[in-house]
Amino acid sequence: MRIVGGSLRGLKLAELGAGDPAAHLRPTTDRVREAIFNLLVNGRHGNPLPGARVLDLFAGTGALGIEALSRGAAHLTLVDEGRAAQGLIRQNLKLARCADRARLVARDATRLGAADIAPHDLVFLDPPYAQGLGEAALASAHQGGWIAPGATILWEESRPPRLPAWARLLDQRSYGGTVVSLLRLPPKAADGTEM
């Protein structure tokens, strides 16, 4: 597993082998990760990466979030409750020399609670497939103030997910057994209401 673009391009990340099914570690393949970032960077919806605050839910190895830092994101918050995942994330942050721009939150992504940091402009959501955890985590992050108005959400699933009413679908593509959905939250109007 390597970083596929940006300032850290080619960086080899910590070995996972075949993954850790018991811990639901199923890293996004380099090919799918490259397709995801091409969709973000080159898509018709504007590049959300430069200067972004990124939230990586079900972070696993941290590869998606570290890739975002490599491509210009300013800060990364990684959420994963699994001990194996947390160990891999710490290793990968050290390898990438970006721990000073990242924060690991050891918590269940479906029960985030109120955010104690500024909201995020870009959200990666890669839950264990077909268990409804993505829907629960996204609702938790939205209710807890983890997601900024106008934020972009990139959601990986094995099937098209049930989208929340408060987000708009921008694009949806299939890469083998992975369905990638690109969503956007509405921005806030000057009076503070959602547009």
Average pLDDT over the chain, rounded to an integer: 88
pTM recorded for the entire structure: 0.90
The pLDDT of residue 95 is: 94
Q: Domain coordinates of the chain in residue numbers?
A: 21-184
Query: What tokens appear for 146 in the block?
Result: 């983890």
What class, spelled out in words, does domain 21-184 have in CATH? alpha beta
User: Do the beta carbons of residue 114 and residue 144 sit within 8 Å?
Assistant: yes
Burial of 162 (0-12, 13-18, 19+ CB in 10 A): exposed
How confident is the model over 95-120, as pLDDT tens digits? 999 999 999 999 999 999 999 999 99
User: Do the beta carbons of residue 79 and residue 71 sit within 8 Å?
Assistant: no
How confident is the model over 148-171, as pLDDT tens digits? 999 999 999 999 999 999 999 999
Which one-letter amino acid corresponds to residue 183? L
How confident is the model over 63-101, as pLDDT tens digits? 999 999 999 999 999 999 999 899 999 999 999 999 999
The pLDDT of residue 193 is: 54
CA–CA separation, 154 and 177 (whole Å): 16
User: Do the beta carbons of residue 39 and residue 47 sit within 8 Å?
Assistant: no
Contacts 24+ apart (CB under 8 A), 14-22: 14/61, 14/88, 14/91, 14/92, 14/95, 16/61, 16/88, 20/84
pLDDT greater than 70 at residue 17:
no
How confident is the model over 49-64, as pLDDT tens digits? 999 999 999 999 999 9
pLDDT-derived band at 18 (thresholds 50, 70, 90) equals very low
Straight-line distance from the first to the last Cα atom of the chain, in angstroms, rounded to the nearest whole number: 40
pLDDT: is 167 or 15 the higher one? 167
